C-alpha cells in the first residue's frame, strides 16, 4: 500500500494484502483506490476499537460490522461494493489510475478542495443544522475567492480554468 497526495488530499493506493498498520493508514487517507489483486483485513490492527469507529463513519453500521466482526478477508470487489474503496482497476493499471487521480485533484481549486475535505470531516460531529451553517460559512468565504471567479469566467468562455489558490 502506498499513500499518494494531490493538492493536500491523500489517496491510499492499495495493491496486495492491506492489513494491520497499512489498513489503519488507508482508513486515515481521504480517498482509497485499489488494484483488482488487493485484499483487506481489519483482523490485526493495533487499535480495533478506533478502527471500528472509523469504518462506521466511512461506511455506515451494516458495512462496518461486515468487515470488523467476522475478521474475514475482504476482496477488492467486496471492498468496492462496501465503499471501502471507490475505484478498482486491474493491478497493472493502478499506478496510472493513481497518477490521474492526483493530477485531477491538482487541477481543482485548492481552497474549495480543502474546505470540502474539512467540512466533510466536521459533519461527523455536527447536527444537520450546524453542519449546514458550517457549509454556508465556507460558501461565503469561497464565493469571494479569485479561483471561484476564474472558474465562472472559464465556464462562460468554454475554456479550462487555471487556479492560483487565492
Partner 1 sequence: MMGGNAHTRWWVDGPVGVIVLDNPPMNVLSDDNRRGIREALAEFRADGTRAVVLTGAGERAFCGGADLKEEEELTAETVGKFLQRGDETFRALREYERPIVAAVNGWAMGGGLVLALWCDVRVGSTRARLGAVGVKVGLMASNVQLSRLLFEGRARDLLLTGRTVEAEEAHRLGLLSSVVAPEALMGEALGWARDIAARPPDVVAALKRAVNTALDPVVAESHR
> Per CB under 8 A, which region of 15-23, 37-45, 70-78, 149-157 contacts partner 1?
149-157
The three grid cell numbers given for residue 67, joined into one nine-digit string: 468487515
C-alpha cell at 117: 475535505
- Told to check if 152 binds partner 1 by CB under 8 A, we report yes
Q: Tell me if residue 84 falls in helix, strand or coil.
A: coil
In angstroms, the CA 59 to CA 45 distance is 18
**Is there binding between residue 68 and partner 1 (CB under 8 A)?**
no
- Candidates 1, 9, 94, 97; binder of partner 1 (CB under 8 A) is 9
Q: Does 91 bind partner 1 (CB under 8 A)?
A: no
* H-assigned helices in 19-71: 20-28, 48-59, 61-68
Kindly write down the DSSP assignment for every residue of 109-130, as one continuous string.
-HHHHHHHHHHHHHHTTS-HHH
**Residue 1 engages partner 1 in binding (rule: CB under 8 A):** no
Least separation in angstroms between CB 126 and partner 1: 7
- Sheet holding 9-14: strands in order across? 2-6, 9-14, 31-35, 87-89
Q: What is the DSSP letter of 47?
A: -
Binding mask 23-62 for partner 1 (x = CB under 8 A): -------xxx------------------------xxxx--
Q: How far is the CB of 58 from partner 1 (least distance, A)?
A: 4
Other C-beta atoms closer than 10 Å to the C-beta of 13 total 24
* SS3 label, residue 133: helix
Q: Is 123 in the site for partner 1 (CB under 8 A)?
A: yes
Q: Which range, of 35-43, 67-75, 90-98, 151-159, touches partner 1 by CB under 8 A?
A: 151-159
Contacts with partner 1 by CB under 8 A lie at: 9, 30-32, 57-60, 83-84, 86-87, 101, 104-105, 108-109, 111-113, 115-117, 119-121, 123-128, 131-132, 135-136, 138-140, 142-145, 147-152, 155-156, 163
Amino acid at each position: 500500500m502506498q499513500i499518494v497526495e494531490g493538492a493536500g488530499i491523500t489517496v491510499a493506493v492499495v495493491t496486495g494484502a492491506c492489513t494491520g498498520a497499512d489498513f489503519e493508514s488507508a482508513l486515515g487517507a481521504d480517498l482509497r483506490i485499489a488494484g483488482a489483486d488487493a485484499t483487506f483485513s481489519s483482523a490485526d490492527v493495533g487499535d480495533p476499537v478506533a478502527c471500528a469507529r472509523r469504518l462506521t463513519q466511512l461506511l455506515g453500521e451494516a458495512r462496518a460490522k461486515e468487515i470488523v466482526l467476522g475478521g474475514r478477508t475482504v476482496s477488492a470487489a467486496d471492498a468496492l461494493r462496501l465503499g471501502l474503496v471507490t475505484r478498482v482497476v486491474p493491478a497493472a493499471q493502478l499506478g496510472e489510475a493513481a497518477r490521474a487521480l492526483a493530477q485531477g485533484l491538482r487541477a481543482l481549486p485548492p481552497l474549495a478542495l480543502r474546505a470540502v475535505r474539512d467540512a466533510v470531516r466536521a459533519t461527523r460531529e455536527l447536527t444537520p443544522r450546524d453542519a449546514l451553517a458550517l457549509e454556508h460559512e465556507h460558501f461565503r468565504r469561497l464565493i469571494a475567492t479569485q479561483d471561484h471567479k476564474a472558474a465562472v469566467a472559464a465556464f462562460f468562455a468554454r475554456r479550462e480554468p487555471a487556479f492560483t489558490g487565492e
